[in-house]
Amino acid sequence: MDKVWLQSYPAGVPAEIDVDEFHSIGEMFSRGVATYGPRAAFVCMGKSISYAELDRLSRDFAAYLQSELRLPRGARVALMMPNVLQYPVCLFGVLRAGYVVVNANPLYTAPELQHQLADSGAEAVVVLENFAHVLQKALPRTAIRHVVVTQLGDMLGGAKGALVNFVVKHVKKMVPAWTLPAAVPWARALRRGAAAPFAAPEVGHDDIAFLQYTGGTTGVSKGAILTHRNIIANLQQAHAWLKATVKEGEEVIITALPLYHIFALTANCLTFFKLGATNVLITNPRDIPAFVKELARHKFTTITGVNTLFNALLNHPDFARLDFSALRISLGGGMAVQKAVADKWKAVTGCTLVEAYGLTETSPAVTINPLDLSEFNGAIGLPLSSTEVAIRDDAGQDVALGVAGELCVRGPQVTGGYWQRADETALVMMADGFLRTGDVAVMDEKGFVRVVDRKKDAILVSGFNVYPNEVEAVAAMHPGVLEVAAIGVPDAHSGEVVKLFVVKKDPGLTAEALIAHCRESLTGYKIPHHVEFRAELPKTNVGKILRRALRE
């Protein structure tokens, strides 16, 4: 397909980016801390750490992993925590030491966590104490040898940190009992690291930076291999798009989406680190009143989120009273942005809500709209610099402009495959290097792409993929279930939620009992919200249940 999108590029955006400016994320980090040393890098719960402090703390954590734990080169280190200051310290410490980050959703159930830790072969994990009880259950069947446990207030300083930890544990009782005898407290790990030597290893483009777990056509969670080159390429692509709009060393970005998710990880944390921004971490974005109060404390210039987050903010009475005079970029991704939400956002903030598109497998950005759009356009934008997009039919042939087909992507940000999953890699990688996204899209004559449907059966709940096979497998384990199928249905809050269609084996089975059963094995956003009982389910002539017919 011809690169028709280049004609629509904003002024100054190059067709190609220089991937070779940095050899590793660690090199990018070193340049950033040298340039922006005294500036606040991250802010959370009223506490900030500067670029220089982040340099020192991440160095200490890197030394702990390297000299105290003696992890071998290329070892995988899991991080299981929400948006707290400990996360960027760990993130950059792991990467600087030449290890691989395995992001683990802190809301995982024990079976979900056990699968990811075992599959990745992670040898060490840093976990927020609130979730240590889940790790305790998952640990026996993994390769984890080292556990570091941190508390919510550990980096808030002195009396404040101690008070937060006391309230969280003893007043709000948010820390279920756990026992991990060999676990090392966060403060002790940093102290030991500070006293230990650290030698920065040679890390290059081909070294793995992240095993970023995602679902797939089979529903089995698998790790997309993202190298330093993949991530650096996406940072360079984002920077090329942003540089005419941002003021380096002056940006203040709001990060409400979890940093363990690829969207916030790259778009917020890494890209805006390169820009010398102050990153405001929101630990619990579901607490909208507290979120709005936090926004009132900052003259923020950029905010990213998913449609449901923007909608929730807009529906809080105090949000419209905030000062939006500095806001220049509002970026939506992770799920489709609804026009009604985008229009209201523009009316309240004066800033156009710009939609972008990406995948875990693409580090994640593939397309983005021009940042100077006067109004929401319903498109996912134009392919980024050095990115090729093809719209293809089921035979793998390019279709004409304006014709719907599967969106396929090729570029330096695209994964080379899945960790120890050659079969899954073969399903998505085409012979010419294009990645099948599983999304049906259309490109117009100006190069703007619009997603019209999802080819896969994935259900998108608040920006997170839920795979029917996984939910069905759990539901089918209930002794009262004969047959089951899962689909997504529209939901005003989450975009979609899971609905089950069930044929009973036990006539006494109730929807409440089945949902309670699913809750034992599935994390919150995967739990079915609706159950419909039927005498039979529609099937193909070979007996495969037709989810499409249920959706229709």
Residue among 406, 361, 353, 360 nearest 381 (CA): 353
Q: Write down the H helix ranges in 97-215.
A: 110-120, 132-138, 158-166, 186-194
Tokens for 157? 């300083």
Distance from C-alpha of 46 to C-alpha of 51, rounded to nearest angstrom: 16
Tokens for 182? 């060999």
Report whether 21 contacts 391 (CB < 8 A). no
Q: What is the mean pLDDT of residues 223-232?
A: 98
Q: What does pTM read for this prediction? A: 0.86
Q: How large a percentage of the chain has pLDDT more than 90?
A: 84
Q: Which of 23-27, 170-174, 213-217, 237-241 has the lowest mean pLDDT?
A: 213-217
Tokens for 190? 């940093």
Distance from C-alpha of 38 to C-alpha of 493, rounded to nearest angstrom: 40
Distance from C-alpha of 521 to C-alpha of 421, rounded to nearest angstrom: 24
3-state secondary structure 283-318: CCCCCHHHHHHHHCCCCCCEEEECHHHHHHHHCCCC
What band does 217 get if pLDDT is binned at 50, 70 and 90? very low
Tell me 207's DSSP state. S
pLDDT of 216: 44
CB within 8 Å of 536: residues ≥ 6 apart: 483, 503
Q: What is the mean pLDDT of residues 170-183?
A: 96
Tokens for 407? 């969106």
CB within 8 Å of 379: residues ≥ 6 apart: 355, 369, 448, 449, 450
Q: What is the mean pLDDT of residues 196-213?
A: 97
Report whether 550 contacts 485 (CB < 8 A). yes
Q: What is the mean pLDDT of residues 152-170?
A: 95
Quickly list DSSP for 210-243: EEEEE--TT---EEEEEEHHHHHHHHHHHHHHHT
pLDDT of 453: 58
- Say if residue 10 is exposed, middle or buried (CB neighbours under 10 Å; 0-12, 13-18, 19+): middle
Which residues pair with residue 530 across a beta bridge?
499
Which residues pair with residue 146 across a beta bridge?
124
Residue pLDDT, tens place only, 371-414:
999 999 999 999 999 999 999 998 999 999 999 899 999 999 99
Q: Rounded to whole angstroms, what are the CA distances from 364 to 246, 264, 266, 319, 437?
A: 20, 10, 7, 29, 12
pLDDT of 552: 82
Report whether 302 contacts 252 (CB < 8 A). yes
Q: Which residue has the higher pLDDT, 301 or 333?
A: 301
Tokens for 497? 């939620």
Pair type for strands 76-80 and 124-128: parallel
- Please tell me whether the peptide bond between 364 and the residue prior to it is cis, using omega within 30 degrees of 0: yes
Spell out the domains of the chain, with CATH numbers in brackets: 48-203 (3.40.50.980), 459-551 (3.30.300.30)
What band does 548 get if pLDDT is binned at 50, 70 and 90? confident
Return the residue matching tokens 């402090």: 53
Q: Rounded to whole angstroms, what are the CA distances from 158 to 40, 85, 153, 408, 521?
A: 19, 15, 9, 51, 38
pLDDT at 338 over 90: no
Tokens for 508? 């006494």
Distance from C-alpha of 62 to C-alpha of 392, rounded to nearest angstrom: 45
Report whether 386 contacts 365 (CB < 8 A). no
Tell me 526's DSSP state. G
Distance from C-alpha of 65 to C-alpha of 190, rounded to nearest angstrom: 10
pLDDT at 489 over 70: yes
Residue-averaged pLDDT of the chain: 94
Return the residue matching tokens 């930076």: 209
Provide the 10 A C-beta neighbour count for residue 94: 27
Sign of the torsion formed by the C-alpha atoms of 254, 257, 260 and 263? negative
pLDDT of 218: 46
Report whether 374 contacts 349 (CB < 8 A). no
pLDDT of 215: 62
Report whether 295 contacts 254 (CB < 8 A). yes
Tell me 336's DSSP state. P
pLDDT at 300 over 60: yes
Half-sphere exposure at residue 488, Cβ-oriented, CA atoms within 13 angstroms: 24
| Single-letter residue type at 439 | D
Distance from C-alpha of 254 to C-alpha of 307, rounded to nearest angstrom: 15
pLDDT at 482 over 70: yes
Longest dimension (CA), the chain: 68
